[in-house]
Amino acid sequence: MKFTKTSIAAATVGLALTLAACSDDADNAGTAAESTKKAESSTSAKAAPVELPTKEVLNDVLQRAADPNLPAEERVLTVEGGEEFPELFDTMAAAKMESGAEFNVVDPVLPGYTEGSALATVAYSLPEREVQPADNVEFIHQDGHWKLSREWACVLVTNTVEPEQVPAVCMDGGVEVPPNEAEVIDEGHQELPEAHNEHGEHPAPAQ
């Protein structure tokens, strides 16, 4: 068979178009595969559960929250939404200094009511008084940091300062503090109430 110049030219054009189409398909397939891989990686990262903190991590949160020597921008990272009420941390620091109160997290640290939260018992003590345990104190994992929940920060503060020293965020209209079921004991000291959910019940921790 003889090939004319016209047939050769046509074949050449056809081959070029075929190769170009294959190249485009390969590029599109590569781009799609890369996009899929990124999407899967992103989904995997979002789905990864937050590891429960140790008691040492949570104790560090409590200590830093009441440390007057730390910059304000560091202290506000220790309480849920702390950037909104920086005055709370001055109250916490003053309360600890004036009362000699100590807060220590004890094992075990358990999963909280929601994903990204943890529950622990905090041993609360004042000089020359017996240690009082506060059960189910909630910590929240927020913006990459473990923080004391806003509700519990207010509970701890209101049990260590005079009523007139309680910051506005912990008053009615600021943040919802657990119902007052504490009983007044020696020299006006109050027992710390257990954590409640919004319905006033004690739900089981998340598994």
Question: Residue 159: CB partners within 8 Å, gap ≥ 6?
Answer: 124, 182, 189, 190, 192
Closest C-alpha among 144, 134, 79, 130 to residue 105:
134
pLDDT of residue 40: 55
pLDDT in tens, 101-148: 899 999 999 999 999 999 999 998 888 889 999 999 999 999 999 999
Domain residue spans of the chain: 1-48, 55-188
pLDDT of residue 182: 38
b/e map 3-14, b = 16+ CB within 10 Å: eeeeeeeeeeee
Residue with token string 């079921």: 181
pLDDT in tens, 19-72: 444 455 555 555 555 655 555 555 444 557 889 999 999 999 999 999 999 999
pLDDT in tens, 160-197: 888 898 999 998 644 444 444 333 323 444 445 444 44
User: Is the pTM value of this prediction over 0.75?
Assistant: no
Q: Concatenate the DSSP letters of all residues of 82-151 into one string.
A: GGG-THHHHHHHHHHHHH--EEEEEEEEEE-SSTTEEEEEEEEE-TTS--EEEEEEEEEEETTEEEE-HH
- 125 has which bridge partners? 102
Question: Residue 161: CB partners within 8 Å, gap ≥ 6?
Answer: 91, 94, 95, 99
pLDDT of residue 184: 30
User: What CATH architecture does domain 55-188 belong to?
Assistant: Roll (3.10)
- 142 has which bridge partners? 145
